[in-house]
Amino acid sequence: MGTKPLKKKTLFFYGLSDAPVMLASFPMMLYMNKFYATDMGIDLAALATILLLARVFDLITDPLVGYLSDHTKSRWGRRKPWMFAAIPLLMIGIYKIFLPDPGVDIWYVAGWLLVMWLGWTMLMIPYYAWGAELSTDYDERTRVTGWRAAMGSIGMVLSIVIPLVAVIFFNLDGIAGIMKITGIAVLILIPLAIGLTLFMVEETKQTRVPTVKAFDGLKIMMKNGLFRRLVIAFTLSTMGLSILMPLNAFYVVSVLEAPENYIPILMFFNAIIGTFAIPLWVKISDRIGKHRAWAAGLLTVLVVSPTYLFLGPGQFMFMVPFAMISAIGTGAFQTLPNSMKADVIDIDTAKTGENRAAMFFSAWSLATKAAGSIGASLGLFALSMIGYDAAAGAVNSEEAIMGLKYSYAILPAVLFVLAGMIVWNYPLSRERQRRIRAAIDRRDTRRADAAAVSGAVG
């Protein structure tokens, strides 16, 4: 499957599983913190602390699931059983987080986040590893991640359109209503989309089982200099987005003094623009390379960020065009790092003769979730330190509002600058990847020939 162009049907059904993931992820990034802080009355600092501490769990589960996925042997393959088993855990965790009973406490949030994140780990690590194995070609891998990102963007658009329709036609009640109706939609789409991926896409067969032990993987991966550099840049850029996205709701309501129901309108335009930007970034990466295209996406977001310092009450409509430009830049974030990650795994495969994709994707998953939690927690801690009060009906001081502006506009920009500096001269080019891949293919051919001769002699 790695030598021939993938059919669009394969790309579509593979990418389809990312739709419910983004349908759930986007509201969690955007609304969850404000929902639990304002509607459920949970302290900002306590919420930030739980988001950080819960990730300790991932230090065990992510490498363990990566190891087990790499070593699974079944008639269905090694990735599909884990994705199938993830469905019930994801569904119950999402139900409890998106549709909580009134008066829940911080321990309720912590417990059900752990359940949901375990399901997330069991789904995403095998799923992303499977994507890296669909093709061995430098540019074809960008098509794989591009289709996956496009399907994810459709999920993101649905996460905006569904509450937007409910706001316009059914008088949806603020963020609490958005969380509820989106949660119901996710629960419907999860088994449907993941089921179609599992049924319609053939898993690539692997003939050589990795020999690395479960918790030795991180040490091995950190010796891979390109992977280490890629993870650091990705973590910084994800942290920036993870600060920016949750603070959107606080910024719109407290700085622009717009109703909560305006937030889906803003996010609708962002999601549409971000979706259409994905094929643009794929084409740009074909011309200038993946790392330079990613850096250009970072620069696009970076240029827009300071403008948010100058907006104030009643200027919601002035924010929309700046947010749309920023959404063009984030299209690069969704597509290119995952494709670059698949290329880096080839270096390990060339050195070891083993395909340990899930091990690398477990580290990537851990970095993604850690960056998301650290970024969101930094934003919440910043609001807590400046004295911002997230309670319903609270009146904040001018100093707290200005602190919110700086947290929203400047803090993510600093992280984007650092990520861009790291990724700009990234040395794994198309030509180098193809040389590495050719060496792997020659070795695999020799092994196959040797096995054929041995079988004939036997």
pLDDT in tens, 285-300: 888 888 899 999 999 9
Nearest CA-CA partner of 308 in 292, 335, 326, 329: 326
Instruction: Count Cβ neighbours within 10 Å for each residue of 393-419 and write b for 16 or more, e otherwise.
Output: eeebeeebbebbbebbbebbbebbebb
pLDDT in tens, 412-427: 999 999 999 998 888 8
**CATH 1.20.1250.20, applies to 13-201+215-443:** yes
Res 208 pLDDT > 60: no
Nearest CA-CA partner of 368 in 90, 81, 86, 128: 128
Distance CA 391, CA 227 (A): 42
Q: Which pLDDT score is estimated for 2?
A: 43
Distance CA 125, CA 81 (A): 12
Q: Which of the two residues, 98 and 226, has the higher pLDDT score?
A: 98
Distance CA 336, CA 280 (A): 11
Residue 291 CB burial class (10 angstroms; 0-12, 13-18, ≥19): buried
Res 75 pLDDT > 60: yes
Query: Where do the structural domains in the chain lie, given as residue ranges?
Result: 13-201+215-443
Region of poorest pLDDT, from 188-192, 210-214, 249-253, 365-369: 210-214
Residue 446 CB burial class (10 angstroms; 0-12, 13-18, ≥19): exposed
What residues contact residue 25 under an 8 Å CB cut-off, 6+ apart?
none
Confidence of residue 143 (pLDDT cuts 50, 70, 90): confident
Q: Which pLDDT score is estimated for 297?
A: 92
